[in-house]
Chain A
Amino acid sequence: MEFIISILKAMFTPVFFSKAVSQGMPLLFGATGEIITEKAGHLNLGIPGIMYMGGIGGITGAFIYEMSVENPVGAVGVIIAVLSALLFSVVGGLIYSVLTISLHANQNVTGLALTTFGVGLGNFLGGSLSKLANSPGQINVKLTGDAFRTTLPFLKDLTSKGGFVGGFAQMFLSYGFLTYVAIIVALLAAYFLNKTRYGLALRAIGESPATADAAGINVTRYKYFATCIGAGIAGLGGLYYVMEYFGGTWQNNGFGDRGWLAIALVIFALWKPVRAIWGSIVFGGLYILFASVTLSTAMTEILNMLPYLVTLIVLIVSSFRKKREYQPPQSLGLSYFREDR
């Protein structure tokens, strides 16, 4: 009992919360992107690879910029990093789209191949970029990284106050801009999927592409846009990780298997972006729980099972409750060929 109380005490502190948020946001980006993709009926198992591609894309763009300009400016670096992260990850999404949508390839197989490719590309460029560019040492874009990490200028004054104001500032104001972008994108995705014509059409495609096609919706175009935009959003998750978390350096496999956690989060959130927001913070908390509890290192590894176990439980419980809105899109994973109707 005391042990549980000690865990809870460690958990309900503003600092723990803010750490959970910064762990959770890459997952939120990934999950939002994957939700949009899955709502169009495509289970993109390439998301982990796409997140690596986004991360390395951002760092490559910023690296080239910082190398080629005499006095680089952080803000410009940020813009270039975001654009090149989007470029890399959308290219990843495009490869997946061409193969699964136009060429009717199997989605799981294509996704796994894309993950192999994307993770490889990230680690390859991360390890070789500085060598290829003939510059010494490890790839490092500290200037851009710092720009990504910029917080509100008066944050220090607020957090040092302590009490409610300090706690509030620590919990909600202590992040770089990408954190807020993640939440805004998730909210926009929720609005798009539930309140707009296009969103409803997209969901119709995910449930039954033949019906949507008969209703005059251009299934192929929607699927392409959903997959590519989803990939772009997921790529920002990788960018978040290398810039905001690592501060503009690349570590091989530094992002680890968290791409799969993003896919787990989609299930946890039952395909709803708003649930994914708090879900990502829960996952982030579970992921770093070991750091705030005094346990033997071995038990830490058991504790690190939690995000996956929780996802499994959600998966099982949602399959017990046959509620319609808790189910994945009906045609998820199936390719649509008009002539097969």
Chain B
Amino acid sequence: MTNNSVHSKSSHLKEPLIRVARREGTSKLAAFFIKLLAIVLSCVVCLGVIYILTGSTPDKVASAMGGELFGFGTRQMNNIMNAYSSSPLEGFFRGLLSSKPFWRTIRDAMIMLCVAIALTPAFKMRFWNTGGEGQILMGGLATATVMIFCADKLSPALLIIVMLLASIAAGLVWGLIPAIFKAKWNTNETLFTLMMNYIAIQLVLFFNIIWDTTGGAGYIGMINKETHAGWFPTDIAGGFLGTENYIIHLLTVIVLTVLVYIYLGYTKHGYEISVVGESENTARYAGISIKRVIIRTMCISGAICGLAGFLLVAGSTHTIAKDTSDNRGFTAIIVAWLSKFNPFMMIFYSFLIVFLSNGSKEIATRCGLNEAASDVLTGIVLFFIIASDFFINYRLVFRHKTAKEEK
């Protein structure tokens, strides 16, 4: 008895003021609200930063973002909304669907989602594919190559198919190389894939000089500028969806998201991936060939990244340059990780990131500030979201509270 009290006294003295304990079974709703709170808080901080730097009040920021992201306030949109003044809701949707900024936002979010979807199978296997950037660029480079050399040899439909296959193959190879070394010799994949990015960038620079069309500036420039061969048509369903819609991006990536979701959740391959990710020893005991799973999964990951390069080159930039991928390979890592492999969360985060970066770029330009401000703001929001994970998985235990509990 005395022993016990001495023990509890000494442990009480050493008990730190705040202790961290794991929290089990946080409900999805609670987790969602914690995330939401983090995002709201970070937006408040960002608005504060914007106000201090530029003096723009939140309503100005909102109107700038609304215009840039959705086309609110543009003349075209106002015209359409006025034409449907009898039913404002219909006017709103018709205006939105025919607005170019809205479709550009969709396009950027879809490409981000595509890369995040590509990285997810690898992450689920605990394979840190930091090489998305390189895999996208190689896919884009392959697409551009086909566009340059086969445009006049193939029929339009066949051309697109060859471009697609070439991009997938190129991305696949770029993902396969580090996977083989990881599987056979356990070479560190984070650093390997990271280095592969820069080799891909140099290759892109090399071909930009070889196929230079600008007369020495070192850019391939718009490919097939006159013929538009290999370009995605942007006026599908013309009048209804506007003259610059990205419905192909939307449909491709949504289908892909569903496929990957099914692949990971409801197939044997997907199950093997999660076993390898949870514990390699368990996988080995269960007779799963880890090498095969690693190589197969990275092929898929690289192939989808290559496809993202195809969407970028054929459907949006129509050229390939060093910055075509624009750090998407890295940003998508954050998107994939934050969403915890949940495809719906991934859609949400893709849009959030695109809103943030495109919107704050617009604010920065309007205030005459440097575009890089958008990276600063994105960084701040990411810090908040990353930190919020802690409050979902852990809880803080204060000293006096535990003392009470013991009584």
Contacts and interface: CB of A to CB of B under 8 A. Distances in A.
Contacts of A267: 188, 191
Nearest to B370: A127
B375 A117 contact: yes
Interface in A286-327: 296-299, 301-302, 304-305, 308-309, 311-312, 315-316, 319-320
A308 B198 contact: yes
Interface in B349-389: 368-370, 372-376, 378-380, 382-383, 386-387, 389
B89 interface: no
Given A298-B206, A298-B209, A301-B205, A113 B375 contact: no
A319 B181 contact: yes
B333 interface: yes
A252 B370 CA distance: 10
A176 B81 CA distance: 65
Q: How large is the interface on A (under 10, 10 to 19, 20 to 34, 35 or more residues)?
A: 35 or more
Interface of B, helix, strand, loop or mixed by DSSP: helix
A112 B334 contact: yes
Contact of B374 (A118, A120, A297): A120
Interface stretch (A10-18, A98-106, A202-210): A98-106
Interface string A84-120: 0000000000010011000111101110111111111
Interface in A234-266: 252, 257, 260, 263-264
B403 interface: no
A108 B190 contact: yes
Interface string B271-311: 00000000000000000000000000000000000000000
B202 to A, nearest CB: 4
A157 B378 CA distance: 52
Given A104-B390, A108-B130, A120-B374, A131 B190 contact: no
B187 A316 contact: yes
Contact of B386 (A99, A132, A296, A299): A99
A128 interface: yes
B62 interface: no
A103 B370 contact: no
Contacts of A132: 53
Nearest to B218: A297
Contacts of B375: 116-117, 119-121, 123-124
Interface residues of B, number: 54
Nearest to B336: A109
Contacts of A319: 181, 185-188
Contacts of A305: 198-199, 202-203
A45 B329 CA distance: 14
B188 A315 contact: yes
B373 A128 contact: yes
Contacts of A328: 188
A339 B21 contact: yes
A315 B128 contact: no
Contact of A309 (B190, B199, B394): B199
A308 B53 contact: no
A124 B379 contact: no
A231 interface: no
A117 B380 contact: yes
A109 B190 contact: no
Nearest to A108: B128
A122 B389 CA distance: 27
Contact of B195 (A113, A115, A299, A312): A312
A166 interface: no
Contacts of B327: 116
A155 to B, nearest CB: 35
A117 to B, nearest CB: 3
A252 B198 contact: no
B41 to A, nearest CB: 15
A99 B387 contact: yes
Contact of B383 (A99, A299, A311): A99
Interface in B12-43: 20-22
A114 B369 contact: no
B379 A117 contact: yes
B210 interface: yes
A112 B380 contact: no
A43 interface: yes
Contacts of A124: 369-370, 372-373, 375-376
Nearest to B130: A108
A113 B386 contact: yes
Contacts of B205: 301, 304
A121 B382 CA distance: 14
A100 B402 CA distance: 26
Nearest to A49: B379
A128 to B, nearest CB: 5
Contacts of B186: 319
Contacts of B330: 112, 115-116
B331 interface: yes
A117 B333 contact: no
Contacts of A131: 368-369
Interface in B182-223: 185-188, 190-192, 194-199, 201-203, 205-206, 209-210, 218
Contact of B393 (A104, A112, A296, A311): A104
B378 A120 contact: yes
Contacts of B378: 116-117, 120
A304 to B, nearest CB: 5
A133 to B, nearest CB: 12
Contacts of A109: 333-334, 337-338, 386
Contacts of B218: 297
Contacts of B194: 260, 263-264
21 contacts: A43-B190, A104-B390, A106-B386, A109-B338, A113-B379, A113-B386, A114-B379, A120-B372, A121-B372, A122-B372, A124-B373, A124-B376, A127-B372, A260-B194, A260-B198, A298-B206, A301-B205, A309-B195, A315-B192, A319-B186, A328-B188
Interface of A: 43, 45, 95, 98-99, 103-106, 108-110, 112-124, 126-128, 131-132, 252, 257, 260, 263-264, 267, 296-299, 301-302, 304-305, 308-309, 311-312, 315-316, 319-320, 328, 333, 337, 339-340
Among all A-B residue pairs, the 7 with the closest Cβ atoms: A120-B375, A117-B379, A127-B370, A123-B372, A103-B390, A113-B382, A319-B187
Given A120-B373, A132-B53, 19 more contacts: A105-B386, A112-B333, A113-B382, A116-B330, A116-B331, A116-B378, A116-B382, A117-B376, A118-B379, A121-B379, A124-B373, A127-B369, A127-B370, A128-B53, A296-B209, A299-B206, A312-B195, A315-B192, A316-B185
